[in-house]
Amino acid sequence: METLQEELLSHILSFLSLPEQLKVASGLEEVTLPAACDEACVEVVLRGLPKLKTLNIDLKKLTGKFLSLLPANLERLEMRGVFKLLEEELERAPSYTTLEELDITGLKNASCPALVKLLSVCPQLMMLDAYGSGITDAFLEQLPVKIPGLRVLHISGCEGLSEAGLLNLARLKELRWLDLFDTNTTDAVLRGLLSATRLSFLAVGSHCDRPIQSTEDVLCNLVLALPSLREVRLSRGIWINDVISFLNGRLPHHRNVTLSLPSKYCMFDTKNKCGIS
């Protein structure tokens, strides 16, 4: 199995010898396919690895045909860089009830119907990483319908999302972890998260020069209203002081809330800062 993994990662895989290699490594549970693999190569790999649990594909020339060939017990799928996802290929894909983690980081130029159909392939999804992808408001509208049990959602840098689309996040009742960096997060979007009573982590703000569309007061009221919220990650240091000033004296002493920046972890004494850590 180690031999197969080494060949795949070093891009020297021989297509003719692959079936024989797969017989030896049929129990392999994790594999990363290099850019040298085409649709035919991926098909051979998937048919030869029935116990595969994690598949990482970083290819630009696939259409999604491989989605109908995934092993029944696959748990994690990374398909970053797949730019030609076709709806007709997704129509042939069955529902994978064991698939819990999906990474479509940077997936662009896929049609809206194709992206929505992708949700039907993984109804039991627990984690979705769509950082910098081309997901739309229509995608977020269907997210609570297709995947009501979603717990972790990364949509940082998704420029195609409007306030109307982000308001659908309030319908994800099982959400625990939400990354909203560099999105059109407004006060209305933050107020909508009041219904996310299990949310424990929230990242909000902007790394770029565009103005922040949400205010510190609304964010702080959200922190106060959600006892489950344990960490808030902010993208601009000036927010830290404003949020601390607002929460100081208002946050119950028994609560610990971590305020942090992506590049620097900020920690304050719990006793002196009224539960802010």
Find the CATH number of the domain harbouring 186: 3.80.10.10
Give the pLDDT of residue 27: 78
**pLDDT of 272 over the 60 cut:** no
**pLDDT band at residue 109 under the 50/70/90 scheme:** confident
Environment class of 95 (CB within 10 Å of its CB; exposed 0-12, middle 13-18, buried 19+): exposed
**pLDDT of 71 over the 60 cut:** yes
Range from 182-191, 230-239, 253-262 carrying the lowest mean pLDDT: 230-239
On whether residue 202 sits in a domain, the answer given is yes
Q: Mean pLDDT score of the chain, rounded to an integer?
A: 83
What is the mean pLDDT of the segment spanning 260-267? 59
* C-alpha span between 202 and 229 (Å, rounded): 8
On whether residue 212 sits in a domain, the answer given is yes
**pLDDT of 227 over the 70 cut:** yes
Between 89 and 247, name the one with better pLDDT.
247
Give the pLDDT of residue 139: 95
On whether residue 254 sits in a domain, the answer given is yes
Range from 16-20, 110-114, 165-169 carrying the lowest mean pLDDT: 16-20
**pLDDT band at residue 269 under the 50/70/90 scheme:** very low
**pLDDT of 40 over the 80 cut:** yes
On whether residue 1 sits in a domain, the answer given is no
**pLDDT band at residue 219 under the 50/70/90 scheme:** very high
On whether residue 124 sits in a domain, the answer given is yes
**pLDDT of 12 over the 60 cut:** no
**pLDDT band at residue 211 under the 50/70/90 scheme:** low
What is the mean pLDDT of the segment spanning 140-167? 96
On whether residue 44 sits in a domain, the answer given is yes
On whether residue 142 sits in a domain, the answer given is yes
Structural domain count of the chain: 1
**pLDDT band at residue 91 under the 50/70/90 scheme:** confident
For the sheet with 152-154, list strands across it. 30-33, 54-57, 76-78, 101-103, 127-129, 152-154, 177-179, 201-204, 231-234, 258-260
* C-alpha span between 168 and 197 (Å, rounded): 15
**pLDDT of 274 over the 60 cut:** no
Give the pLDDT of residue 209: 60
On whether residue 91 sits in a domain, the answer given is yes
The CA angle 120-123-126, to the nearest 5 degrees, is: 130
Between 221 and 273, name the one with better pLDDT.
221
Which of 3-7, 108-112, 166-170, 202-206 tops mean pLDDT? 166-170
Give the pLDDT of residue 14: 53
**pLDDT of 242 over the 60 cut:** yes
**pLDDT of 123 over the 80 cut:** yes
What is the mean pLDDT of the segment spanning 39-63? 85
* C-alpha span between 183 and 235 (Å, rounded): 12
Residue 99: domain span? 26-260
Between 167 and 68, name the one with better pLDDT.
167
* C-alpha span between 119 and 161 (Å, rounded): 17
